[in-house]
Amino acid sequence: MNIQKIRALSFDLDDTLWPIGPTLVAAEAALTAWFRENTPNALPVYQNQALVSSLRESLKIQFKDQLHDLSAIRKQLIREVLQRAGEPTHGVEDAFEVFFQARQTVQMYPDVIPALDALKDRYPMVALSNGNANIEQVGLGAYFSHAISAQDFGVAKPDPRIFQHTLARLNLEPDELLHIGDDAHTDIWGARGLEMPCVWVNREQRTWPGEGECPWMVRDLGELVDLLRDEKA
């Protein structure tokens, strides 16, 4: 990786800038509360974890061409729960909106805002995510010139087309965009498919689980700032 050539940065979101686990727990709790208040017959169906897991797997098969669209899959799951409970399905959008809004309440890792503040005047930055977080609603809109999601684009990382689209939006060559993410497959393997430079954010100090040589690795975004500063010096 020749950092001297880097002209812009792309960031994964979930588990790179914030932990997704607590956010989804809170979003599930909000959706459960909606069922309890609005469609009580659906509550025991939704709380049947084995059944809901089975429904999710069935939906992945049924809607295999829409797996990049997490919002669509979530709406279908809500519809299935309501139908099985004998409840009307006209509340799908309302139920999803409750889940979606709770999903936008995230707790940044403590290193994120200081790092983005340090980088924002040096590089254009792009959010490049397979998730359905809204960059404005989570409070990071001021840092990113573009937000590219699998849901909107139509394919998910590691598909090379979403990386190619990002490069085209920025009018950059592959070696000019540094991609930063936590997932060895979707982020690192995806970027490497186009020979893009990449940095693996390894907050839990895991052993490299991917194929080939371990990429450049940082424990947090503070180390990323130091890496870019040192290499630019």
Domain shared by 153 and 84, yes or no: no
Domain that holds residue 218: 3-18+107-232
Tokens of 86: 């004998």
Domain shared by 14 and 32, yes or no: no
**Residue carrying the six token digits 């895991």:** 206
User: For every one of its 233 residues, what pLDDT tens digit does the chain have, with 9 covering 90 and above?
Assistant: 788 899 999 999 999 999 999 999 999 999 999 999 999 999 999 999 999 999 999 998 888 888 788 999 999 999 999 999 999 999 999 999 999 999 999 999 999 999 999 999 999 999 999 999 999 999 999 999 999 999 889 899 999 999 999 999 999 999 999 999 999 999 999 999 999 999 999 999 999 997 788 899 999 999 999 999 865 54
**Residue carrying the six token digits 């977080």:** 133
Q: How many domains does the chain have?
A: 2
Domain shared by 9 and 32, yes or no: no
> What does the DSSP assignment read for 96-163?
HHHHHHHHT-----TTHHHHHHHHTTTS-EEEEESS---TTTTT-GGG-SEEEEHHHHS--TT-HHHH
Domain shared by 97 and 163, yes or no: no
Domain shared by 133 and 86, yes or no: no
**pTM here?**
0.91
> What does the DSSP assignment read for 10-41?
EE--BTTTB-HHHHHHHHHHHHHHHHHHH-GG
Domain C-terminal end among 60, 75, 103: 103
